[in-house]
């Protein structure tokens, strides 16, 4: 099967290499949204109340019950933490659920 990339190149379409990082809605022509701006933005670093790094916000969504949740990734682990358990202070995102609680299943697992 022929690669569609060759057909795109023949049509004069090009690809742009991107680097990993926070979502940048303005570069895509879209307007900024709550997911790309503000303290609970995708890519924001999350710490717990002890100062331990919990991870980074990778997704903001709504669960089946209608509750707003943030998916937070640390390495291979992903946890779903209710947005109500997150707050911003001094430019940081803090979680009321500790890293230890998340690692031992006392939080909401992903």
3-state SS, residue 96: coil
Would 98 be classed as within a structural domain?
Answer: yes
Would 56 be classed as within a structural domain?
Answer: yes
The span from the CA of 62 to the CA of 45, in Å, is 20
| Cα angle, residue 92 at apex, residues 72 and 40 outer, rounded to 5° | 50
- The tokens describing 87, both together, are 């707050």
Would 48 be classed as within a structural domain?
Answer: yes
Would 75 be classed as within a structural domain?
Answer: yes
Residue 8 φ then ψ, to 5°: -65, -40
Q: Strand 86-89 vs strand 77-82: parallel, antiparallel, or unpaired?
A: unpaired
CATH code of the domain in which 66 resides: 2.30.30.240
- 45-68 pLDDT, tens digit each: 999 989 999 999 999 999 899 999
Would 12 be classed as within a structural domain?
Answer: no
Would 16 be classed as within a structural domain?
Answer: no
- 1-43 pLDDT, tens digit each: 555 445 445 555 444 454 555 554 444 444 444 444 457 888 9
Domain that holds residue 31: 22-103
Counting the structural domains of the chain, the total is 1
To the question of pTM greater than 0.75 for the whole model, the response is no
Counted residue by residue, the chain has a size of: 110
Would 45 be classed as within a structural domain?
Answer: yes
């Amino acid at each position: 099967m022929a690669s569609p990339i060759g057909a795109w190149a023949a049509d004069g379409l090009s690809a742009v290499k991107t680097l990993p990082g926070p979502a940048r809605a303005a570069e895509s022509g879209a307007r900024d949204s709550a997911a790309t701006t503000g303290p609970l933005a995708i890519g924001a670093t999350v710490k717990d109340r002890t100062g331990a790094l919990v991870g980074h916000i990778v997704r903001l969504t709504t669960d089946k019950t209608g509750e707003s949740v943030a998916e937070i990734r640390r390495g291979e682990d992903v946890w779903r933490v209710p947005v109500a358990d997150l707050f911003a202070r001094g430019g940081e995102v803090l979680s009321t659920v500790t890293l230890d609680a998340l690692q031992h299943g006392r939080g909401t697992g992903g």
